Amino acid sequence: MAGNLEPNAPPGSTMKPLDQVEPRIPITSVPYTISQSGSYYLTKNMTAAGTAITVNADDVTIDLRGFSLTGNNTGSGVYMTDRINVEIRNGTIRNFNYGINDDYIMMVSNGTSTNHRVIGVRALSNAQFGIKLYGPNNEVRDCSASNNGTSASGSNIFGISVGNNSTVTGNTANNNGGSAQFNAFVFGITASTGCTITGNTVCFNGYNAGESTTIYGIVANSGSTITGNTVNGNGTSAGSVYGIAANGGGSTITGNTVYSNGSSATVLVHGIYASSGGTVTGNTVYLNGQGSVTVDGIYAGPGGTVIGNTVYSNGTFASGTVFGIYLAGHNLVDQNTAYNNNGTNMNNPGNCTFGQNYAP
C-alpha cells in the first residue's frame, strides 16, 4: 500500500567548492595590496613595518575578523587614495603613524574619495591619527579611537576625522593627544560641513597637553547636527579648550552633556561654542573651565536659538570673565537655567528675544 520503497537514484554530492563556502579573499600576510574589488579578510594577527594594507580598488570590504594589525609607528594600518565604497570592520589597528588613512592630498586634487564605512574598529596608539576619512559621505560607527598622538608636538591630532555629509555614531574617542605640546591641535572628533555626530563619548583628549595647545572634544563645520554626545575631561591643562564647537553657522547642538573640560586651561574655555545662526537646545553644561581665564558655558553666536539648556558651576576659580550663557546678539532665548557660574549667568545684549529663563 505504501508503494515502491526503492530510491530512483543515489543521492547527489553535497560538496561545495571553496569559493562558494568562503567567497572572500584571505589576507595571510602584510604588507598586502588590494588591486581588485571584492571582500577580503584577515586570517590572523599581523605585524607590519610600514603600511600594512594598501587599497588600490573601489568597492572593497576588509573584515579584520577580530584580529589586530600592529605597526612600528610608521605608515598606515589601511591606506587608500581616491577610492570609492571601501568598508573596514571588526578588529584592531594599532601602533602605525595613521590607523586608517584616506589620503588628503589626492582627495583634494581628484575629488573622488567617498562613501567609506568604518564599523567596529579599534584604532589605538597610532602616532598621529586614529581614523581619517577626508572625503564626503562616510560613516564611522561603533569604533574606538584611543591614545593616538599621545606625545605629538606641533601637529594636528585626530581621534576620528570625516569629510562633508558624513555620520559619526556610537563611537568612543578618548585620550588622543594626551600629552601634546608646542602649538599642537587635538581633536577627539572632527567633521566637515553637513555632518551628523550622534551618541559618541569623547573624553580626556589632550588631557595633559601643554598650555600652547588647542583642544577640541567635538568640532564640526556649518550645517551639522551634534546630538546626544557626552564630552568630558578634555584639555585639562591646555591653552584653549572647546568641549563642542560648531563653526561656520547653521548647526544644531542638542541633548549633549558637556562637563569638566579645560579644568586648568590657561587661555579660554567654551563648553559649547555655536557660531552664527546655530540652534542650541536641551544641553547640560557644567564644571567647565575650573581655574581657567575666560570661560563660557555656552557661547551662542549672532542670530542663534538657545532653548532649554541647563548651565551651572562653570568657571569656578577662573581669574577672567565668566558667562554661563553668552549671547552675541539677536538671539531667541527661552526656558534656560543658568546658575552658580562664577560671573554672569546670562548676559543681555539688548537685542535678544527672551522667554522664561532662570538666570539669577
Q: How many CA atoms lie within 13 A of 248 on its CB side?
A: 13
How is 299-318 classified by DSSP, letter by letter?
EE-TT-EEES-EEES-STT-
248 within domain boundaries: yes
- CB distance 67 to 44 below 8 Å: yes
- Please state the domain count of the chain: 1
Q: Is the dihedral of CA 2, 5, 7, 11 positive or negative?
A: positive
pLDDT at residue number 107:
43
The answer on pLDDT for 19 being more than 60 is no
CATH number at residue 62: 2.160.20
HEC string of 49-110 equals: CCCCEEECCCCEEEECCCCEEECCCCCEEEEECCCECEEEEEEEEECCCEEEEECHHHHHHH
215 within domain boundaries: yes
Q: Using one digit for the tens of pLDDT, what is the confidence trace for 157-201?
A: 999 999 999 999 999 999 999 878 878 899 999 999 999 999 999
22 within domain boundaries: no
218 within domain boundaries: yes
Which residues are 339's β-sheet partners? Answer: 312
Would you place residue 103 in the very low, low, confident or very high pLDDT band (cuts 50, 70, 90)? Answer: confident
7 within domain boundaries: no
- Domain of residue 333: give its range: 28-354
Give me the helices (H) in the chain, please: 18-21, 104-110
pLDDT at residue number 16:
59
3 within domain boundaries: no
Would you place residue 109 in the very low, low, confident or very high pLDDT band (cuts 50, 70, 90)? Answer: very low
Q: What does the mean pLDDT of the chain come to?
A: 92
- Report the candidate in 191, 196, 195 with the shortest Cα–Cα distance to residue 217: 191
Q: Using one digit for the tens of pLDDT, what is the confidence trace for 242-273?
A: 999 999 899 999 999 999 999 988 899 999 99
Q: How far is CA 117 from CA 142, 166, 195, in A?
A: 11, 10, 14
CA distance 76 to 49: 10
CA distance 300 to 329: 8
193 within domain boundaries: yes
CA distance 27 to 42: 5
263 within domain boundaries: yes
pLDDT at residue number 108:
46
